[in-house]
Homo-oligomer: A and B are copies of this chain.
Amino acid sequence: MLQSIEARTGAAIGAQWSESTADEITQAAAAAAAANDFFAATSAEHRATLLRALSTALEADRTALVELANRETGLGLPRLNGELDRTTFQLRGFADVLESGTIHSVVDDEAVPGVPPVGRPRLTKVRVPVGPVAMFSASNFPFAFSVLGGDTAAALAAGCPVVVKGHPAHPGLSRQVAALAKRVVAELGLPEGVFGFVQGGSIEVGVQLVQAEPIAAVAFTGSFKGGTALAQIAAERARPIPFYGELGSVNPLVVLPAALEQNGDALAATLANSICLGAGQFCTSPGIILVAKDAASEAFVDAFAHALHALQPHAMLSAPIRATFDRGVARWRADAKLKPLVADAASDTVTPRPFLAEVQAADFIADHMLHEEVFGSAALVVRVASVDETIAVLHAIGGSLTVTLWGAETETEDTRNLVRAATQTAGRVLFAGVPTGVAVTAAQHHGGPYPASTQPFTTSVGYSAVDRFLRPVALQDAPAWLIDRQGVPS
């Protein structure tokens, strides 16, 4: 059963309702299949109109949606209004990209007379929508990574029908946004299967959706455990399908001594704020802070711990997420290799206390358990004796959505080596600021080596996210009518 719950109090909002049945999931996938040929053949302008209409409808219902989101997630009105801004911006952004023509740009190689390898037929490479996409909403962005978030926008932009699985941590909002999307699809006269919606807290709902025969690709943002289980199911289908999973990460942040020469205290405050932002419930929340052992670095760690201690994260998204956070902190608290820096007893049942501990690099590298994300306002300071040890820590972590390098403004052998290690570890490398906050733009890449992403060559944020749903096809000696349809300049 599904139940809308006040994040701040744990109180029920309204009555329970049933999760989607196996039949309903089958029907949603079948409707997507029925809409598939029609939607794939729509023009870029037609799909841009849909995306703009969805953006407009969200904007029109802003007050009610944000209020419900605030009750169900506890994330606060400023953040949720900002997130809705981002979501509508993203929908309009994909519409702009569609209208610019780049999504359907072709590579057209003219025929060359003669024998191979120089001689060749005409080849025109186009991209075709992969088919119905199963989209798994995240808990932590009730708008931007949920029902009408980036994955849905990218799939619709590509010409793929979407079947969204709403996240059970904000079930009322999910249902309301889904109803809005269905209304817009109907108003535009599109087949209803262009947008489908299923809901459920049980594992079966997700499994059934990934196994549904018409589903051609999966987009997932969520936990490592859930994501790897569903990826396995996608791979074991009679016909395996791509599984684009973004599974969270520890987001190492390297504080080089050069960064502390001017503004160490300000950086300490910035970092503490980033860790407490949204109660640390970001896939890009910095979880591993690499700090040297000189006096300035000692002072930075003190200031950072002091700043973090003074902060109070708000209530977490749901009781299960809070329980997982508490278990992660308890594990760290019990670890004799960790020296607690900010480790108050948990205060009450809804608002968590931040947690920070220090560990030596060698101990960190040796213990795989320490490389795992604790989702929430918790971080480890890893003390490193050298650049080589810093790089060894990054290699031990292996894969992350982001690595941040503070203090790499000057080119030296050290900074070159650190940049190399950072680009091997992450899909985004920052040289200023904090990794929380992911701009929606063409150059964004939100996806990193395992375990951050199941497909680290692809991104789930930014306009390249559409590439996940468009499969290249080379047309050889295509007839004139078909070339004309691809809009190839003659």
Contact residues of A with B, CB < 8 Å?
37, 40-41, 82, 85-86, 89-90, 106-109, 115-118, 120-121, 123-126, 128, 131, 235, 239-242, 398-399, 408-411, 415, 419-420, 423-424, 426-433, 437, 439-447, 449-451, 454, 456-457, 459, 462, 464, 467-468, 471-479, 481-482
| Complex Cα spacing A44 to B58, Å | 47
- The residue in A90, A242, A445, A467 that gathers the most chain B C-beta atoms within 10 A of its C-beta is A445
**Given A443-B123, A445-B125, A482-B419: A116 touches B431 (CB 8 Å cut-off):** no
Pick from B398, B444, B482: contact of A239, CB under 8 Å = B398
Report whether B431 and A478 are in contact in the complex, using a CB–CB cutoff of 8 Å.
yes
Pick from B116, B462, B467: contact of A82, CB under 8 Å = B116
Point out the residues of chain B lying under 8 angstroms from A90, CB to CB: 117
**Given A121-B439, A445-B473, A450-B239: A37 touches B430 (CB 8 Å cut-off):** no
| Complex Cα spacing A444 to B121, Å | 10
Pick from B123, B241, B420, B454: contact of A37, CB under 8 Å = B420
Report whether A121 and B432 are in contact in the complex, using a CB–CB cutoff of 8 Å.
yes
| Complex Cα spacing A85 to B116, Å | 8
- Measured CB to CB, the nearest residue on chain B to A475 is B429
Point out the residues of chain B lying under 8 angstroms from A468, CB to CB: 457
Report whether A473 and B423 are in contact in the complex, using a CB–CB cutoff of 8 Å.
yes
Report whether A443 and B125 are in contact in the complex, using a CB–CB cutoff of 8 Å.
yes
- Measured CB to CB, the nearest residue on chain B to A425 is B473
A sample of 18 more A-B contacts (CB under 8 A), given A128-B424, A432-B477, is A89-B118, A107-B442, A109-B441, A116-B437, A120-B439, A123-B439, A123-B441, A123-B443, A125-B443, A128-B423, A423-B473, A428-B473, A429-B476, A431-B475, A431-B479, A445-B473, A446-B474, A459-B472
| Complex Cα spacing A60 to B86, Å | 60
- Measured CB to CB, the nearest residue on chain B to A123 is B443
12 A-B contacts (beta carbon < 8 Å): A40-B420, A82-B116, A86-B117, A125-B444, A408-B482, A409-B481, A410-B481, A428-B473, A428-B475, A431-B475, A431-B477, A444-B474
| Complex Cα spacing A322 to B447, Å | 45
Point out the residues of chain B lying under 8 angstroms from A40, CB to CB: 420
Report whether B117 and A440 are in contact in the complex, using a CB–CB cutoff of 8 Å.
yes
Report whether A445 and B429 are in contact in the complex, using a CB–CB cutoff of 8 Å.
no
The 7 closest A-B pairs by CB, nearest first: A120-B439, A411-B481, A123-B443, A89-B117, A445-B474, A109-B443, A125-B443
**Given A123-B439, A472-B459: A433 touches B116 (CB 8 Å cut-off):** no
Report whether A457 and B242 are in contact in the complex, using a CB–CB cutoff of 8 Å.
yes
| Complex Cα spacing A242 to B121, Å | 31
- Measured CB to CB, the nearest residue on chain B to A445 is B474
- Measured CB to CB, the nearest residue on chain B to A430 is B476
Point out the residues of chain B lying under 8 angstroms from A420, CB to CB: 37, 40-41
| Complex Cα spacing A124 to B419, Å | 14
- The residue in A108, A415, A457, A468 that gathers the most chain B C-beta atoms within 10 A of its C-beta is A457
Pick from B241, B429, B454: contact of A474, CB under 8 Å = B429
Pick from B41, B462, B472: contact of A427, CB under 8 Å = B472
| Complex Cα spacing A468 to B239, Å | 22
| Complex Cα spacing A118 to B241, Å | 35
| Complex Cα spacing A128 to B410, Å | 21
| Complex Cα spacing A6 to B419, Å | 52
